[in-house]
Structure 1
Amino acid sequence: MTPAEVAVLTALSPDRTLTAAQVQLAATLTTWRTRNALAHLESRGLIVPSHPRGRWQITPRGRAALTSKASRFR
């Protein structure tokens, strides 16, 4: 997991539902890094799109991954 992916999971944790722009601000990433991290995290089932459209939410699997991986990036 990349530092950008950890930052995105942290921004969405514990149960926040944010737009890509809100994730970008919370994670202090560029637009490209945010969208790339969102795509990779979604492909691995760690985040899911939420309603209303255009928002993202962390999954239980994503919370578990964050718990086990985040300590490497602190």
Structure 2
Amino acid sequence: MNPAEVAVLAALHPDNTLTAAQVRRTSRLTGWRTRNALAGLESRGLILASSPRGRWRISPRGRVALMTKGKRFA
């Protein structure tokens, strides 16, 4: 997991459901890095698309990953 992905997971933790723009603002990443992090995290099942469309939330697996691997970037 890279620092951008950790920042996205932290923005979505514990139960935030945010749009990509809200994640970008909260995590202070560029739009490009936010989109890439969202795509990578979703492909690994660490975040889930949520209703209404265009929103993201952290999965239980993502919470575990943030707690274990996120410590490297704190």
Q: TM-score normalised to the size of structure 2? A: 0.99
Q: 3-state SS of the aligned residue for 1:15?
A: coil
CA shift digits 1:25-46 (9 cap, x unpaired): 0000000000000000000000
Distance 1:71 1:52 in 2: 31
Distance 2:60 2:10 in 1: 13
Task: Give ranges in structure 1 of 5+ residues lacking alignment.
Answer: none
Once the two structures are superposed, the pairs formed by residues 1-74 of structure 1 within 5 Å of their partners are: 1-74=1-74
Report the alpha carbon displacement of residue 70 of structure 1 after superposing the two structures with TM.
Answer: 1.1
Q: TM-score normalised to the size of structure 1? A: 0.99
Task: Give ranges in structure 2 of 5+ residues lacking alignment.
Answer: none
How many residues matched? 74
Runs of 4+ displaced beyond 2 Å = none
Report the alpha carbon displacement of residue 12 of structure 1 after superposing the two structures with TM.
Answer: 0.1
Distance 1:49 1:34 in 2: 15
CA shift digits 1:33-73 (9 cap, x unpaired): 00000000000000010000000000000000000011100
